A and B are shown apart, each in its own frame.
Chain A
């Protein structure tokens, strides 16, 4: 039995189902991300786990215990909010200690645990500051310490990094992941940032319109997207409308316009969508298909080329090796291996 179990969760706001039959099982100590665009129901799901929103139907169980009748203040869940929601009139130490105070932890133990929690997030020396006197990254750490110090059964992170600048965000991704491993706490992260989900999670649950459309390890979800939505939301993808014209096991022969090529997957004969990641397409001297570079965009560690091809516009990503880039307007040939062309359902 999984540590956190969500089964058949439904939440309607008026006539709109924000969460529409959601099932999820999270193992103890696991880090699972709910990834999806805004309005996909991920935050509502988090709020239902926390107890702030009551589901219309379905069951939430933590460690086998049904949470339906448990009010939010008895759930023993640590939450880090997007705005951090620190108490501005309390010092850092008072903020972190608030949950312990509510649990009537004795003064001496409280002080020790506050110090431990602040050490964990490397903020020990700022304990007497007020939140306003801290930077965004420091406030974020206080919020994390405040959520962890109560030794919650579950840690919920609600878009915790979206208010930080890009550089700090990358650092905090790693740091939160390391702290989570060190503490070993079961964690649910809600995010719309695919890079965040890929870096931090043990498993990613991609959500669309109130449901989980795919759940799996980041690398599996990236390599084998369940549908076109997942393939474009998790990383970039070239989506090609094609027709299945032949097959040999999982290796399908598809035709798109004037081009025929091989792709991997399962689908009945007829129209399909083929997804090819930009970094899996390469320039070749001979073979492949003809294309023309529309524009080359310099991204630092790689080049992104937009190509006109018989398959429509293709995006191609090449690591920046220091070689001269290909000029706009140049005729090129591009190819990919059949393994990297994925036939998608739907």
Chain B
């Protein structure tokens, strides 16, 4: 019987996680630190990027109404998208949950479809659909629902429609995961005690999958807040969101430090929102769900 030395044994977990740690350090931590460092540099058209440690960029982002508007628009839009995705995705997940297994796999593929298509292809597809002469407008006019084409392109509506489409699957998956943990007999129990199908849903099913609904919304919210391709193509430059603004600072204005500051503020704001939300949810459901 080989005796295992306690030292080598206790080092094994570190050894096993080292590759993942190195990947994270090189490809995630290092770029983030570099962006953070960059955000404290300064920039002028004449001199370019000047190294240093100054808070000028942050002061600009935090005091300028232009940026206030962009941040408010981004988070407002993300909130609305999370809400709409929850309203569509939760019933969708429940229906999926109640389907016969064969149908369920087929529909799961349909629901996950948007995620399997490249973001650019999908967004351009939406642009084709939503354009002035696009299919949606042609149909609306033909059906007499609108007398002239509705503006979707370069509007908030268009951005929200396209983002909800791609983000709903994340909500469905989160809710579905919590539905699968649900004891199927609790619905039968509710019925047998005299509750209608609707009451069973409202009083018994929804409260139990609430953690799934809330975490799904959180995923959708953070993805919507940091979305770039869809807002930039469908929203254009009139409806800038934070990610598009940062992109423009980097590539159009060449003001990398300001772009880095914008990104950093977005990251910090999102992390703060996520942590606060998680704490609130955990506190609310602490006794019931461990």
Min CB distance, A132 to chain B, in Å? 7
Contact A85 B186, CB 8 Å, known A102-B199, A132-B288:
yes
CB <8 Å contact, B193 and A150: yes
B287: CB under 8 A from chain A? yes
A52: CB under 8 A from chain B? yes
Residues in A whose Cβ lies below 8 Å from that of B188: 50, 52, 72, 79, 81, 85
B3: CB under 8 A from chain A? no
CA of A50 to CA of B290, assembled, Å: 32
* Contact with B183, one of A72, A79, A83, A99 (Cβ below 8 angstroms): A83
CB <8 Å contact, A79 and B207: no
A146: CB under 8 A from chain B? yes
Residues in A whose Cβ lies below 8 Å from that of B183: 83, 85
Residues in B whose Cβ lies below 8 Å from that of A76: 194
* Contact with B194, one of A83, A87, A99 (Cβ below 8 angstroms): A99
CB <8 Å contact, B208 and A77: no
Residues in B whose Cβ lies below 8 Å from that of A78: 192
The residue in chain B whose Cβ has the minimal distance to the Cβ of A97 is B193
B204: CB under 8 A from chain A? yes
Residues in A whose Cβ lies below 8 Å from that of B194: 73-74, 76, 99, 102-103, 150
B189: CB under 8 A from chain A? yes
CB <8 Å contact, B193 and A99: yes
Residues in B whose Cβ lies below 8 Å from that of A83: 183, 185
Residues in B whose Cβ lies below 8 Å from that of A73: 191-197
B236: CB under 8 A from chain A? no
Residues in A whose Cβ lies below 8 Å from that of B186: 85-87
B190: CB under 8 A from chain A? yes
CA of A71 to CA of B194, assembled, Å: 10
CB <8 Å contact, A85 and B193: no
CB <8 Å contact, A88 and B288: yes
Main secondary structure of the interface of A (DSSP, over half): loop
CB <8 Å contact, A82 and B185: yes
The residue in chain B whose Cβ has the minimal distance to the Cβ of A82 is B185
A303: CB under 8 A from chain B? no
CB <8 Å contact, B195 and A130: no
Residues in A whose Cβ lies below 8 Å from that of B207: 89
Residues in B whose Cβ lies below 8 Å from that of A233: none
Residues in B whose Cβ lies below 8 Å from that of A103: 194
Residues in B whose Cβ lies below 8 Å from that of A150: 193-194
Contact A72 B208, CB 8 Å, known A85-B183, A85-B185:
no
The residue in chain B whose Cβ has the minimal distance to the Cβ of A104 is B194
Contact A89 B288, CB 8 Å, known A79-B188, A83-B183, A102-B199:
yes
Residues in B whose Cβ lies below 8 Å from that of A132: 288, 290
CB <8 Å contact, A81 and B185: yes
**Could you say which of B183, B192, B195, B289 has the most chain A C-beta atoms within 10 Å of its C-beta?**
B192
CA of A83 to CA of B192, assembled, Å: 15
Residues in A whose Cβ lies below 8 Å from that of B288: 88-89, 130, 132
Residues in B whose Cβ lies below 8 Å from that of A52: 188, 191
Chain A stretch 39-57: residues in CB contact (< 8 A) with chain B:
50-52
CB <8 Å contact, A98 and B190: yes
Chain B stretch 178-223: residues in CB contact (< 8 A) with chain A:
183, 185-186, 188-197, 199, 203-204, 207-208
Residue pairs across A and B with Cβ atoms less than 8 A apart, 12 shown, are A50-B192, A52-B191, A72-B188, A72-B191, A73-B195, A83-B185, A85-B186, A89-B208, A98-B190, A98-B193, A130-B287, A146-B193
Interfacial residues, chain B to chain A (CB-CB below 8 A): 183, 185-186, 188-197, 199, 203-204, 207-208, 287-290
Told that A85-B183, A85-B189, A146-B193 touch, could you supply 10 new A-B pairs with CB distance under 8 A?
A50-B192, A75-B192, A78-B192, A79-B192, A81-B185, A82-B185, A83-B185, A85-B186, A87-B208, A147-B192
